[in-house]
Structure 1
Amino acid sequence: MVESELLFFFIISVWFLVDKKGLTLLNSLKRIWVLEREILFWSLTLFICSLIFLSMPFSLHTLLSSLFPLVMGTWWYASAYAMFLLFMPFLSQGLRILGRRRHAQLCIVSLGLWGGLGLLPKIMPVVQLGRTQFYGFFYLFILITFYKWYMDEFTLRESLMLVVAGEVVIIVYWFVSNFLEPHFSSETSLALERFMVADWSLPIVMIGFGLFSLFNSFCFSNVIVNWLAASTFGVYLIHQYEPVANLLFVRLFNVVDIWDEPYAFVLSFVVLSVSY
C-alpha cells in the first residue's frame, strides 16, 4: 500500500510540474524549502508526541533527525524527492533535446533493464533499484515525461487493463517463485518476494500508471475529496515515523498474528482501513 501511495505522490507532482514555465534550479530550491518546512513541522510534532505519549527514549540522533529531517533522512521518500528536485530541471531539458524517437528508445531500455530483467532472480539483485536510492525517480521521470509529451492519454479500458495486468504479474510471479522456491537460497527467495512490491518494480509501476490515468480522465471536483487528498502526505509522514510505525504494525496490528487466521485477507483490510 505504501509503495503505491508513494508512486502516486511522485506521478502527480511530476505531472503538474514538468510543463511549468521557469523549471529552474532556483524554483527547485524553493520547492525544497517548502517541503522542508512541512516535514520539519511533522518531525518536531511527532518527536514531542512520541516522547510524551509513546515513551520514546531520548537520544541525540532522534533530536537531530527531528531538527534536520531532510538531511538525516527521517523519511527516505522526502529526502530522495528533494534530491530529485535538484536534478529535475536538467533532466527535463535533456529529455526535451533527445526528441520523441530517442526518448522512446530510452524508455524501452529502462523498462527492459529495470522491468524485464529485474524479474529474473539471478540478475535481479544487480539491476534492482534500491528503495532509498533517489535515481529510481529518474527511471519514473523518463516514463512519465514520454507519456505526457508524446502519447495519447490511456482510455478507460486501457487504464483498467494496465492495472489488471500488473496484478496478474504479481500473482503469477508469486506462484512461480513459490513453486521454484526449493531451488533458491533463502536470501534469493526473500528478495523475490520483496521485489514484487518494491517501489520501482514493474507491476507496481503498471498499477500506479494505470490508476493515475484512470482517475486523471475524470473531471470531478469536491471540497472534501480535495481536503483528504491534501492530507495524504501528512498521513504518510505520521505512519512512517518509526515510533508510530512500531506502535501500529508491531505492537497493535502485527500481521504475523493474523496471517494464519481463516479470514486473514478480511482482517488485513480492516487493519489497513483503521490504520490509514
Structure 2
Amino acid sequence: MLKNEKKTYFYNLDLLRIVSMFMIVLTHILGKGGLRDAVEGREDTYFFIVWFMQILAYVAVNCYGLISGYIGVDSDYKLSKIASLWLQVFFYTLVITGCFALFGYQLDAQDWLGAFFPVVTSQYWYVTAYFGLLVFKPLLDKGLYSLSDKQLGQLAVAIFLIFSLVPALFNNKVLEYSLSKGFGMTWLIILYIWGGYLRRLKLEKIKTGFLLLIYFVSSLITFLGMNEIGKIWFWYPSPSLVLSSLAIFILFAKWKLSSQSKLIPLVIYLAPASFGVYLIHLHPLIEKYLLVDRFITLLHLEEWLLPLALFFLSFIIYLVSSILEKMRLSLFRKLKLRDKLSFLDNYL
C-alpha cells in the first residue's frame, strides 16, 4: 500500500473520538469532581457505581492514542498541522485566562506564563505528551513501515509484556520506563505503535460479542486488581485496561460506517470539535475553580438517579464545550489561518 495513495475518511473512528471525549468528561466529573475520593472506603452501592463508571470510561485516553497511530502512520507529517494544533491550544489558554482575569479572579505570574507557553508549562498533560510524540513521528512511521507484519506483531506483544503485564503482576512501578502512570510521551508512543500495527490487521474478522466480553471482563479484572493487588492496575498501562481499550477500539475500527449512515451528519459536526472539548473543560483555571470537588453533592441522590445525573452533566459540559469550539473553528476559518500556515510545509 502506498502511503497517502488515496484520502480515507474514518467516520467510525471519528465517532470513537466523540464517544471517547464524552467518556473523558465523565471521568473528570468522577475524579476531579471529587466523587472518587468521597466514596473511598465506603464499599456501598455508591462506591460500586462510581468506580465501575470510572473504569468503563477510563479506556478513552488509550483509545485516543490508538487512533493517533492507526490514522497517523499513514498520514503526512505537516508542520502546518502542528502549528494549527499549537494555535488552538494557545487560543484557549490565553482567552480563558483573560476571561478569569476580567471576572476578578486573582491570577499570578505562573497563570500567565502557562497561558503564553502552554506546551512547555504542561497546562494539559496530553497536549505536552502529544507534542513530544510528534517530534518522533517521522522516525516512528519509518520504523513501522520497515518492519514486516510478523516483526511488528512480535514487537507489539513484547511491548505489552514488558511495559504493561509484568509490572502490574509484580505491582511495581518501574520508574526507569518513564511511563508516569500513562500520563506522558512514552505511553503515547507505545499506543501509537500499537495503533499502527492494528492498521495492518483484518479487524472485521473479530466477533463483536467477543470484543464486548473482553471489555467487560477486563474492566472487572481492573476493578479487582486495583483493590486486591495495587493501584497500578488502574493506570493507563494496566494490562486489563489495555485489553478493554483495545476491545473498544477494535469494535469501532471494524464498524463499517457508510457515508449514507444517519450518524454521519452528527459525526461530521461533532468530531472536529472533540479535542476542543478537552481544552475547554480542563483548562487549569476552569479545573481549579469550577471542577475540583464541585460534584460531591451528587452522592446525595438516590442510587438509581446517580448514573443518570452523571451522564446528563457530562452531556451538558460536552455540548457547551462543543458549541464554543465550533465558534473558534468558524473564527479560524474566516481568518484563513490554515492556509496562512501552509508555507511551513515547504520547510519539511
Query: Normalization by structure 2: what TM-score?
Result: 0.64
AA of the residue aligned to 2:257? C
Residue by residue, what CA displacement relative to the aligned partner does 1:125-173 show, whole Å, maximum 9, x if unpaired?
Answer: 5568213320112211221111212x21234624x53343133223234
Say yes or no: does 1:45 pair with 2:82.
no
Cα separation, 2, equivalents of 1:121 and 1:157: 32
Deviations 1:3-56 (A, max 9, x none): 544334333333233123xx45xx3x3332111111111111211222234x43
Secondary structure of 1:70's counterpart equals: coil
In the aligned structure 2, how far is the partner of 1:104 from the partner of 1:176? 27
Which residue does the alignment assign to 2:192? 141
Counterpart residue number, 2:282: 240
Q: Give distance in 2, aligned partners of 1:177 and 1:77.
A: 23
Out of 33, 54, 73, the position equivalent to 1:18 is 73
Tell me how far 1:88 sits from its aligned partner: 1.0
Letter in 2 for 1:41: F
Q: Which residue of 1 aligns with 2:346?
A: none
Q: Secondary structure at the match of 1:72?
A: coil
* Residue identity matched to 2:198: Y
Asked whether the 8 Å contact 1:118–1:128 carries over to 2, the reply is: no
Q: How does 1:260-271 map to 2 (within 5 A)?
A: 262-263=303-304, 264-271=306-313
Q: Match for 1:200: what amino acid? A: P
Match of 1:170 in 2: 219
Q: Hey, what's the Cα distance between the residues in 2 that align with 1:15 and 1:262? A: 39
Q: TM-score, normalised on structure 1? A: 0.79
Is 1:219 aligned with 2:266?
no
Pairs aligned (count): 255
Q: Are the aligned partners of 1:248 and 1:275 in contact in 2 as well (CA < 8 Å)? A: no
Structure 1 ranges of 4+ moved more than 6 A = none
Change (3 A) 1:206 1:43: same
Which residue identity does 2:64 align to in structure 1?
F
Offset at residue 116 of structure 1 (A): 1.7
The equivalences for 1:55-204 within 5 A come to 55-126=104-175, 129-130=179-180, 131-149=182-200, 151-155=201-205, 157-158=207-208, 160-175=209-224, 177-178=226-227, 180=228, 189=230, 191-192=231-232, 195-196=233-234, 198-204=235-241
The offset of 1:60, in angstroms, is: 1.1
Partner of 2:19: none
Q: Is 239-248 or 67-76 further displaced after alignment?
A: 239-248
**Aligned: 1:34 with 2:84:** yes
Is the Cα–Cα contact under 8 Å of residues 258 and 267 in structure 1 kept in the other structure?
A: no
What per-residue deviation string (whole Å, max 9, x for no partner) do you get for residues 173-208 of structure 1? 423553x47xxxxxxx4x34xx42x33333343333
Contact preservation (8 Å) 1:56, 1:243: no
Which runs of 5 or more residues in structure 2 are unaligned? Answer: 1-22, 25-57, 319-348
| Percent identity for Structure 1 against Structure 2 | 23
1:233 deviates by: 0.6
Counterparts in 2 of 1:114 and 1:105: CA distance versus 1, 3 Å:
same
Question: Which string of whole-angstrom CA distances, capped at 9 and with x for unpartnered residues, describes residues 208-261 of structure 1?
Answer: 333333333222442332111111111111111122123443353237x51895
What's the CA shift for 1:120? 2.0
Deviation at 1:105, TM superposition (A): 1.5
Measured in 2, the distance between the counterparts of 1:5 and 1:56 equals 32
Deviation at 1:67, TM superposition (A): 1.0
Give the match's secondary structure for 2:106.
coil
- If asked which structure has higher relative contact order (CA below 8 Å, sep 6+), I would say 2
Match of 1:208 in 2: 245
- In structure 2, the CA distance between the partners of 1:143 and 1:121, relative to structure 1 (3 Å rule), is same
Q: CA RMSD in A?
A: 2.8
CA distance in structure 1 between the partners assigned to 2:301 and 2:310 by the alignment? 11
Letter of the structure 2 residue corresponding to residue 258 of structure 1:
L
